[in-house]
Amino acid sequence: MKTINIAILGCGTVGGGVAKILTEQQSLLSKRAGVNINLKTIAELNPEAAIKRFGIDKKYFATASPSENIKNILEANDIDIVVETMGGKSDFVHDTCLNVLKNNKHLVTANKALLAERGQDIFEQAIKSNLQIGYEAAVCGAIPIIKGIKECFTGDIIQSVCGIMNGTSNYILSQMTSQGLDFDQALKLAQQNGYAEADPSLDINGGDASHKLILLIKLAYGLKVNMEQLPITGIAQITKNDMEFAREINAKLKLICFAKREGNQVYATVRPMAVKNTNTLSFVDDAVNAVRLDNKYSGTHFLIGKGAGSSETAMSIVSDIVFIAKHQNVITEEENHNLTLGDCSKIAFPYLVSFKTKNLPGTTGLITTAIGNQGINIETVGHNRFSGETADFSIETESCELSKIEAAIAEIKSAKDGLLLESPKIIPILY
């Protein structure tokens, strides 16, 4: 039986999990791949810690200096697949990944930031070198959405891909919904329970979710989008009241990655949406991830699973290793449908618009009239949560362009100066 040798760069949470599965299940994995899958070497700054944490035999750890170890792996003739689990998008990590491919080795990585923000030349190098990049673990952890698109739904055309792709923010929003917490309380709880890092910025501001959506848009549509082009709104502005307004219309607020093809354009955004309880995404709570595909021939699909975690992410990396070992030298060009990125404010959504106003009679009439003047039908006017001087309430509209909602708000502002105490929050509703 032919042997495929694996090297792992970085033996932390994810890399250690990979080493553990590769050694625990070596014979099973080899049978599945039809070749002998062999963990050859691990380059790690702190081998002692990794040995202790994951119970990996020290024989796997290269013993030269860290940079020497990586250099040796890149230059080795008997390494077939390199797993990059160092993380980050530094020049060093970027150049190492590029050099893996230039040195004729397949690359497997969970590094979404690197691939989404600085991955273009890495992907191009793989095609040039006739090598594979396994990045299943980079998008929604254990959910097989990359192979789903590349290998499973190949008889179809993806019209829309959206989902819940960040576990931390979903955990926070779920706690706000189920426990009635404020954002700050829920964030603290997430940190206490290990669902959020000390610096949770990338999870909360939509950055991490955007990395995943950028990779899916590239895969499904062959469209290269960068972070600056993608409209991104995080969850830090969401209040307990917003949660209540959503509940009133049988919806839950979720941080949604959204991409939809219409004609020759792809409309994409990452932002909180009010997901109706007719949509399975509304039942995906806590740190779970989910992807929804709407396909031309086979309709709607949901893939739901763990989006993070050591063994979950490691499992996806090991699956990539098995796939590459089993299906070597299978390279096809990227999808290219000649699509461009559309302006997301131009596609119609129903909206949940929440208002904080002075508590004055006539306010509902004024606001609903202004909305009606824009030709927007109103579905529901929510309960007014007035408290003394101020009133909080929401309006659910039927489908319309964002610009119409904005025009209605402008009309309200000019009709009665000072009535609106805050800019209304405009949240798309997802059915």
Q: Which is nearer to a second copy, 151 or 197 (CB)?
A: 151
CA distance 336 to 163: 23
Q: Which is nearer to a second copy, 34 or 55 (CB)?
A: 34
Nearest distance from residue 7's CB to a second copy, in Å?
17
Nearest distance from residue 99's CB to a second copy, in Å?
25
Nearest distance from residue 98's CB to a second copy, in Å?
24
Tell me the Ramachandran region of residue 368: left when phi exceeds 0, alpha when psi lies from -120 to 50, beta otherwise. alpha
Nearest distance from residue 278's CB to a second copy, in Å?
10
Nearest distance from residue 196's CB to a second copy, in Å?
19
Which one is catalytic: 20, 40, 112, 212? 212
DSSP designation for 417: T
CA distance 106 to 122: 11
Q: Which is nearer to a second copy, 315 or 353 (CB)?
A: 315
Q: Which is nearer to a second copy, 314 or 391 (CB)?
A: 314
In one-letter notation, the amino acid at residue 141 is: G
Neighbours of 63 (CB within 10 A): 9
Binding footprint of a second copy on the chain (CB under 8 A)? 17, 21, 25, 28-29, 31-34, 136, 141-144, 147-148, 151-157, 280, 283-284, 295, 297-306, 309, 311-312, 314-323, 326-327, 330-333, 335
Q: Which is nearer to a second copy, 303 or 378 (CB)?
A: 303
Q: Which is nearer to a second copy, 259 or 288 (CB)?
A: 288
CA 385 to chain centre: 34
3 state SS of 223: coil
Q: Which is nearer to a second copy, 42 or 149 (CB)?
A: 149
Burial class (CB in 10 A: 0-12, 13-18, 19+), 381: middle
Nearest distance from residue 305's CB to a second copy, in Å?
4
Q: Which of 306, 246, 244, 196 is nearest to 184 (CA)?
A: 196
CA distance 194 to 73: 34
Q: Which is nearer to a second copy, 242 or 320 (CB)?
A: 320
Nearest distance from residue 18's CB to a second copy, in Å?
9
Nearest distance from residue 17's CB to a second copy, in Å?
8
CA distance 322 to 6: 11
Integer CA distances (angstroms), 327 to 4, 7, 33, 134, in order: 12, 19, 8, 12
CA distance 74 to 62: 13
Encoded tokens for 408: 């209605």
Tally: H helices and E strands in the chain: 16, 15
Whether 326 and 31 have beta carbons less than 8 Å apart is answered as no
Q: Which of 412, 378, 327 is nearest to 150 (CA)?
A: 327
212 given a catalytic annotation: yes
In one-letter notation, the amino acid at residue 252 is: K
Four-residue CA torsion sign, 355, 358, 364, 369: negative
Nearest distance from residue 306's CB to a second copy, in Å?
5
Q: Which is nearer to a second copy, 45 or 331 (CB)?
A: 331
DSSP H or E run through 204: helix 201-204
Q: Where are the beta strands (DSSP E) in 124-250?
A: 133-134, 158-164
As a three-state string, the secondary structure of 231-243 is CECCCCCCCHHHH
Integer CA distances (angstroms), 99 to 133, 296, 373, in order: 13, 39, 60
Burial class (CB in 10 A: 0-12, 13-18, 19+), 77: exposed
Active-site residues: which are they?
212
